[in-house]
Amino acid sequence: MFFDAVVVFAKKDSMDCLFCRIAKREIPADIVFENERVLAFRDIQPQAPVHLLIIPKRHIAGLNDITKADDQLLGEMLNVARELAKKEGVSTDGYRVAINCGANAGQAVAHLHYHVLGGRKFTWPPG
């Protein structure tokens, strides 16, 4: 019963989630990479010449929601970031991988995503 409730809750979460819906192809996106676990697509409002989002296909709301069991998945997502940065031609000049977590960081979509930004110079610290 408890587990049924958890499953129903998780399903509802992903039904309402924009990035889950992109992963399920219910909403179109410019997809640049996909495997069984990970999806990458272009940000709809790019903040740099290259602006990709890398997500786990499984719904994880954000960085506060990961566990040790996700170590491999998160590492895989970083490797996808590295490979796509190379493919997009921004590896040599440099690029930024960012995760916004929570309100103060400006997280707008509650499904974990790495931003991969490149093709221009970035400032530090970020605004």
Catalytic sites, residue numbers: 113
Using the minimum distance from each CB to ligand AMP, give the nearer residue, 7 or 24: 24
Identify the H or E element spanning 56.
strand 50-56
For ligand AMP, the binding residues in 49-68 under the rule CB under 6 A are 53
Tokens for 34, please give them.
Answer: 């996909």
Closest CB 29 distance from ligand AMP, rounded Å: 5
47 Cβ contact list (under 8 Å, min separation 6): 117
Q: Which does 20 bind (CB under 5 to 8 A by kind): Zn ion, ligand AMP, none?
A: Zn ion
**From the CB of residue 79, how many other CB atoms can be counted at a distance below 10 Å?**
12
Q: Taking CB positions, which residue lies at the least distance from Zn ion? A: 17
30 Cβ contact list (under 8 Å, min separation 6): 41, 42
Rounded-to-integer distance, Cα 127 and Cα 98, Å: 13
Does 102 engage in binding with ligand AMP (CB under 6 A)? no
Q: Which does 59 bind (CB under 5 to 8 A by kind): Zn ion, ligand AMP, none?
A: Zn ion
For Zn ion, the binding residues in 6-65 under the rule CB under 5 A are 17, 19-20, 59
Residues that bind Zn ion (CB under 5 A): 17, 19-20, 59, 111
